[in-house]
């Protein structure tokens, strides 16, 4: 059973998340030759202050 974790900044709409899980599921099914019923996707919405790159919080970098 493929289990995928997706980390992204919070703020995406429910429709965007629906599109994401549909397209990711399709890609996993093609790549691994499995049915969609076995694919699990966990979406982790993160506030920008919980991510950093190059020694700076993303909220401070504007990214």
Active site residues: 2
Cβ–Cβ under 8 Å, residues 33 and 57 = no
Cβ–Cβ under 8 Å, residues 63 and 53 = yes
Distant-in-sequence, close-in-space partners of 62: CB < 8 Å, separation ≥ 6:
none
């Amino acid at each position: 059973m493929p289990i995928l974790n997706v980390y992204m900044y919070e703020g995406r709409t429910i429709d965007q998340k629906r599109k994401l899980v549909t397209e990711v599921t399709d890609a996993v099914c093609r790549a691994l030759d499995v049915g969609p019923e076995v694919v699990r996707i966990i979406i982790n919405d993160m506030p920008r202050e919980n991510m950093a790159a190059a020694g700076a919080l993303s909220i401070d970098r504007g990214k």
